[in-house]
Amino acid sequence: MRFWIAAAAVALLAACSHKQVDQPAKLTPIKATLRARRIWTASVGGFQFLGFGDGQMKELRLGLGLAVQGARVFASGHKGLVAAFNLRTGRRLWQTDTRVPLGGGPAVHGDLLVVGASNGDVIALNASNGKPLWKVALPGAIISSPAVSNALVAVRTIDGTLHALSPRNGKELWETHQEMPSLTLRGAAIPVIVDNMVISGFANGKVLAVNASDGTQRWVATVSEPHGQTAIERLSDVQGAAIVADQDVYTVGYHGTVDMLALKSGQPWWSHKASSFRGLALGKRRVYMTTEDGAVVALNRKNGAVIWTQKALRYRSLTTPAVSKYGVVVADYQGYVHWLNKRTGAFEARAESGGVRVSNPPIAIGNEVLVVNDVGEITAFRVSPRHR
């Protein structure tokens, strides 16, 4: 039997082993150099929590982020709604009720929009009007976004299987599987399609690249080796999406390392010890990450050397960072959105997005930033420098 645990539970259990629970850092006033103005809000609903027996709520850790294509924003909610909005105004363009418990997506490519459900359903919609195109059932929960190209739809199920489906009708083209440890974080990496390859991380600490045509292995890299005596200490999940830039692949693992790998071979160019259950963000000269304890770190893209570390948000369950025109953006468990200076890590702005946890990464488009919280509320901010 395999068990999944939420990242918050990992932090809590690790803290309990030291007889003291690490409390989220309290926010202190900042001297804002940027102005973050809320320009619109919208909602797709769908609580990402379940009752936990004693009246408490259990976080589902679903991959219901946002997707942007041109002037449209796509969103999906756990109760089944998928919707498109105007990027500038937030006006709803269309809405479709899939009537399944969505867990991952949306992903969009051309006129094809794909979402996945926690019951294993994969649903394709027309991105222009929301009309259903096809639906298939996979034998595993989907809690991360698919990846879509002209040739295939790549879907990671929570049991460690990577599926390739036909974009035309959903027919399965191939699948490949990685053996999972008995205890993992509840999550699944988002696959990436690039250069006729599909690249994905797995809960066994490995990043796998396979041929997009038939699923045969191109290379495999280990970015997190299990260590320690207990099952929790030996957690080694790779949950964030790999980032591909030019001929390099950037990845990070839990209880592992952040690595730059060669795209063609998986050979490591550099490796830096790190632990994160989120993904990475890439700037022109830096790689940005949030660590398992909530520090935001900037690394040199060329050699992995640490440039700066911002620790004022520790234990606030930060999202994967996003790189915007005016800073590095992360959101936290209370719905606050924080802008950090790219060069120094100093705070430049802070805004509130609804008082509810934000689990999925912000989306940055120029000077605008969008976030969706865990009850499906979308907030769009426009950022500008403050006049001195």
**Phi-psi group of 196: left, alpha or beta (phi > 0 → left; psi -120 to 50 → alpha; rest → beta):** left
- Under DSSP, the state recorded for 335 is S
Q: 38-81 pLDDT, tens per residue?
A: 999 999 986 554 433 444 445 566 899 999 999 999 999 999 99
- Residue 144 phi, psi dihedral angles, 5° rounding: -140, 160
Please confirm whether the linkage preceding 385 is cis (ω < 30° from 0): no
- Under DSSP, the state recorded for 63 is B
CA 328 to chain centroid, in Å, comes to 15
pLDDT for 122 equals: 98
pLDDT tens by residue, the chain, 388 residues: 455 554 444 444 444 444 467 899 999 999 999 999 999 999 998 655 443 344 444 556 689 999 999 999 999 999 999 999 999 999 999 999 999 999 999 999 999 999 999 999 999 999 999 999 999 999 999 999 999 999 999 999 999 999 999 999 999 999 999 987 666 566 678 999 999 999 999 988 899 999 999 999 999 998 877 666 565 655 556 778 899 999 999 999 888 889 999 999 999 999 999 988 899 999 999 999 999 999 999 999 999 999 999 999 999 999 999 999 999 999 999 999 999 999 999 999 999 999 999 999 999 999 999 999 999 999 999 999 987 5
The Cα 233–Cα 255 span in angstroms is: 8
pLDDT for 244 equals: 96
Is residue 10 helix, strand or coil?
Answer: helix
pLDDT for 235 equals: 59
Q: Which domains does the chain have, with CATH numbers?
A: 3-18+50-310 (2.130.10.10)
- Cβ 113 vs Cβ 125: under 8 Å: yes
The Cα 215–Cα 225 span in angstroms is: 24
Q: 9-23 pLDDT, tens per residue?
A: 444 444 444 446 789
The Cα 371–Cα 380 span in angstroms is: 7
The Cα 84–Cα 128 span in angstroms is: 9
The Cα 362–Cα 189 span in angstroms is: 17
